[in-house]
Amino acid sequence: MISTNGGFVCLIIECDRSIHRENHVRFALKRKRPAGGQGAEAPRPAGRYRAGPDVLETERDGHRVLLDLRGNRYWELDETASTLWHQLARGLTLEQAVEAMTTVYDAPAEEIRADAESLVGHLLRLRLVEEERA
């Protein structure tokens, strides 16, 4: 886990294979960012999320790597984001995933919840995840 001033932080490395350049995007998920952007939506705590239809995933050095086939871009999730991804992939709701993460990470549940919602919101905007429909 990468931390800043005791905060709960996730790191996503975005790589553009077409130009062989790596962009490091650090999410200090503790800080709120305006939703904005096209197709932005807030994740629902009771929602179940899965990889989008154009996303392949694998593991590399203990981190999840997501390949977006629409733009040949891939993202590497750090340990914290990968843990959340694994919880969601098990079929847990966002709220259940947060509860499970409170047993692993030494951070207040409210902080983990806010950070997880922020990360899932960002992944929704990128169309890397989608909410499962009943």
Domain residue ranges in the chain: 10-33+42-129
pTM over the 0.85 mark:
no
At which residue do the structure tokens 């909410």 appear? Answer: 131
The Cβ of residue 20 has, within 10 Å, a number of other Cβ atoms equal to: 7
Q: Are 50 and 127 in contact (CB under 8 A)?
A: no
Beta bridge partners of 13: 24, 76
Q: How is residue 112 written in tokens?
A: 């983990």
Per-residue confidence of the chain (134 residues) as pLDDT tens digits?
Answer: 333 333 444 445 555 444 333 433 333 333 333 344 444 568 888 899 999 999 999 998 888 999 999 988 888 998 899 999 999 999 999 999 999 999 998 899 999 999 999 999 999 999 999 999 86
Report the C-alpha gap between 87 and 109 in whole angstroms.
15
Integer Rg of the chain from CA: 14
Contacts 24+ apart (CB under 8 A), 79-82: 79/1, 80/1, 80/2, 80/8, 80/9, 80/10, 80/105, 81/10, 81/11, 81/12, 81/119
